[in-house]
Structure 1
Amino acid sequence: FDSAHWVHNDGIVNTYSQVYPRVEQGAAAAVEPRRPRSESHMSIDLEVENDSHTTALIKGTWHTHRMGKNHLCGTHWDKEAHHLYAHVFKLLNKWVAQNNSVADSTTTTTCAT
């Protein structure tokens, strides 16, 4: 534990822990090199409006969007929160619609005669 890593924060959550989990377990954790980022995270751009962008969303992956704000972003005190949520829900709706259309096109029905 190095307290110097944990001092810096953006108002609510320290900046050292918000990039990726830093929990080490067992003897193997001390031997393995640290990854510069977590493989379970993927950065997305909410401003992109094309359909190919939503196909990049991978189920089971923690998608992140860097806002350049502190952890009050998206809360009651953030006057621009409605723009953030409008973009997020628009992106998710497009992703669901695309995945449903792919599922519908690959589903076949057979009838017994």
Structure 2
Amino acid sequence: AHWVHNDGIVNTYSQVYPRVEQGTADAAVEPRRPRSESHMSIDLEVENDSHTTALIKGTWHTHRMGKNHLCGTHWDKEAHHLYAHVFKLLNKWVAQNNSVPDSTTTTCAT
């Protein structure tokens, strides 16, 4: 792997997104997927439903931070803000898509 200068926790090549499928997404269909079919950049500060519904299950979602790789760890004084936004966004997405199966319901064939 090619290594370049960074803060030392994650190599620069893997910090943006995994390079699994290189290709171009159809901009007319999904304009928010600029780099590859497996990548999508999100903005945690957006507070509207169209942003939440733009999340695609099975896609690597990234959020660019103006910090080093210790962001979101014990040493980050603003980590609670980051995680509050992430969980708010995910809870909203689950509520809109009803994508979590009810674990209390089981189906049995008799």
TM-score scaled to structure 2, two decimals? 0.69
Instruction: Give the number of aligned pairs.
Output: 109
Q: 1:50 and 1:112, CA in 2 relative to 1: closer, same or farther beyond 3 A? A: same
Q: Please say if 1:19 is aligned against 2:13.
A: no
* TM superposition shift of 1:14: 2.0
Asked if the contact 2:43–2:63 (Cα under 8 Å) also holds between the matched residues in 1, the reply is yes
**1:40-69 per-position Cα deviation (integer Å, ceiling 9, x unaligned):** 010000000011110000000011000121
Q: 1:109 and 1:83, CA in 2 relative to 1: closer, same or farther beyond 3 A? A: closer
* TM superposition shift of 1:21: 3.8
Q: 1:110 and 1:26, CA in 2 relative to 1: closer, same or farther beyond 3 A? A: closer
Q: 1:64 and 1:36, CA in 2 relative to 1: closer, same or farther beyond 3 A? A: closer
Structure with a larger share of its residues in helix: 1
Identity of aligned pairs, percent? Answer: 98
Q: 1:112 and 1:44, CA in 2 relative to 1: closer, same or farther beyond 3 A? A: closer
Q: Which aligned runs of 4 or more in structure 1 are off by greater than 4 angstroms?
A: 22-36, 101-105, 107-113
Asked if the contact 1:20–1:38 (Cα under 8 Å) also holds between the matched residues in 2, the reply is no
TM-score scaled to structure 1, two decimals? 0.68
Asked if the contact 2:94–2:100 (Cα under 8 Å) also holds between the matched residues in 1, the reply is no
Asked if the contact 1:8–1:16 (Cα under 8 Å) also holds between the matched residues in 2, the reply is no
Instruction: Mark the runs of 5 or more structure 1 residues left unpaired by the alignment.
Output: none
Partner Cα separation in structure 2 for residue 94 and residue 52 of structure 1: 11
**1:52-106 per-position Cα deviation (integer Å, ceiling 9, x unaligned):** 110000000011000121110000000000000000000001101101299999x
Higher relative contact order (CA 8 A, sep 6+): 1
Counterpart for residue 88 of structure 1: 86
Instruction: Mark the runs of 5 or more structure 2 residues left unpaired by the alignment.
Output: none
